[in-house]
Amino acid sequence: MAYKRKVRNVRGALAVVIAIPGSGLVVGIYLSFVEAVRGNGVAAWWLATEVAALSVIIGLILWLRYRRDRQISIVIMLLAAVLAWLWGQHLWDAISSTVLPQYEGLKPAERAQAVGQYRLAVVQSCAAAGGVIALLYTARNYRLIRRGQVTDRLSKALESLESEEEFVRLGGVIALQQIIQDAPAQAEHVTHIVRTFIRRQAPKAGQPSPRSTKAAASGLRRPRLQSPSGPQRPAADVQAALTALNTRHAKLYSSRIDLSGYHLAGSHMARQILSRAQLSRAVLTESVLDHAVLKRAVLVDCDLRRVWAVHSRCYKAEMCGADLREAVFVRADMVACDLADADLRNANLSESDLQLAFLCGGRLSGARLVSTDLSQADLTDVEAGEEPVCFDGSFLNEARLKNAVLRNASFIGAKLRNADLTDADLTGADLTGADLRMAKGLTVEQLRAAGSIEKTRLDPSLREEWQRSAHEAMTKVQST
């Protein structure tokens, strides 16, 4: 370390030593420029040489001072020197022929006045360039000062998060939210802090919260267990942290959050971006998730009872074994969603898009799937239970309903073209106006067990067979 420090000091001293002749070159460039303006060709050549030398000195200073920019400094030095040496004289000739005042036909007094005006214009241009450089330097200082202020605000907010008082922590979370809005460059780091705060403060499902456990250890009160049911709400600081993740700049980094097994019942996460989030075994009972983005999120065995998720986007979300009793997913995008063994009793998925969804073994007692698109969905072994499920106006084209128990289910106006109904239990089902053309595995026995098949669209062969069977049954009844 001492050797490296000594090398840095030597580099700094050399940079200072080299800068001394550089300042002299600046004066020489000015004098050569003045003589070149007067029409001295030798002065123009010296001007190009001095600019090349100054470029070399600037490159050496950068090379010695900033080690990490060594390659860039060498390239700048060589390029500037070569351009100044090869094209300096030609560039000056072009400038002098187009910018300098034309002296032909001018009297000495007029010529002196023209040269003076030109020098004044050059000085004003240099002053303007200096003003631009000053503005850039001021902007740089402003950024540095602002960064320091953001750092101070962040430090104070972190100190507030360590407090035992809930309102103090709430103030710290609000301060972090303001930092995310005011300093987008720090949004990623602050978002990570907020996510860590949620995982530390939110209780685990079925366990007491961290703060109540600490209070119980001090003998103040008994720890409060989180009941798996009931209209619970998260703590104010945890809810504020969830809201902070929903700000405009934090949304870019709030995906892939891991809240597996945490108790967040009653939380408000509307329009939250939770793409690829890990929410397995989490308790989100009565939470608000309308317009939330849950694309490819993992919600295996998640408690989603009475969740409000209207217009949510759950494309390819994994909800195996999830509890969605009385949940509302109206007009939700649930394409290719995995709902195997999910509990959908009394859930409302009307007008949702469930194409290619996987609902094998799900419980659909009392569920409402009115005008729901279930095209090519897999409903093998689903069970309707005691309360009938409603598929009125739904699209079940090419859906798989093998071994499904759909007693007393309502399929009024539903589309089941090319659907697989092999061994499906349709006892008491209302098939009024349903389209069952080209349905696979559909038998006369299933139609006979159905409650109503009025205006049901069937294949001609199946309709003839059903009518013949009905006629034979009626004849047999009359004969007895």
Concatenate the DSSP letters of all residues of 239-261 into one string: HHHHHHTTSTTGGGT-TT-B-TT
Per-residue confidence (pLDDT) for residue 34, from 0 to 100? 53
Residue with tokens 């094209």: 87
pLDDT tens for each residue of 51-79? 666 666 666 666 655 554 555 555 666 66
116 vs 383, more confident: 383
Which range, of 45-49, 126-130, 446-450, averages the lowest pLDDT?
Answer: 45-49
What is the average per-residue pLDDT within 405-433? 95
SS3 273: strand
467 vs 12, more confident: 467
For 279, other C-beta atoms within 10 Å of its C-beta total 28
C-alpha–C-alpha distance, residues 60 and 459, integer Å: 88
Q: Extract the tokens encoding 430.
A: 């209302």
Q: Rounded to 10 degrees, what is the CA torsion of 296, 298, 302, 307?
A: -20
C-alpha–C-alpha distance, residues 38 and 51, integer Å: 19
Amino acid at 322: A
Per-residue confidence (pLDDT) for residue 252, from 0 to 100? 73
Which range, of 53-67, 182-196, 443-457, averages the lowest pLDDT?
Answer: 53-67
Q: Quick check: pTM over 0.75?
A: no
Conformational region of residue 155, where left means phi above 0, alpha means psi within -120 to 50, and beta covers everything else: alpha
Residue with tokens 């400038």: 95
Are 415 and 397 spatial neighbours (Cβ–Cβ below 8 Å)? Answer: yes
The counts of H helices and E strands in the chain are 10, 0
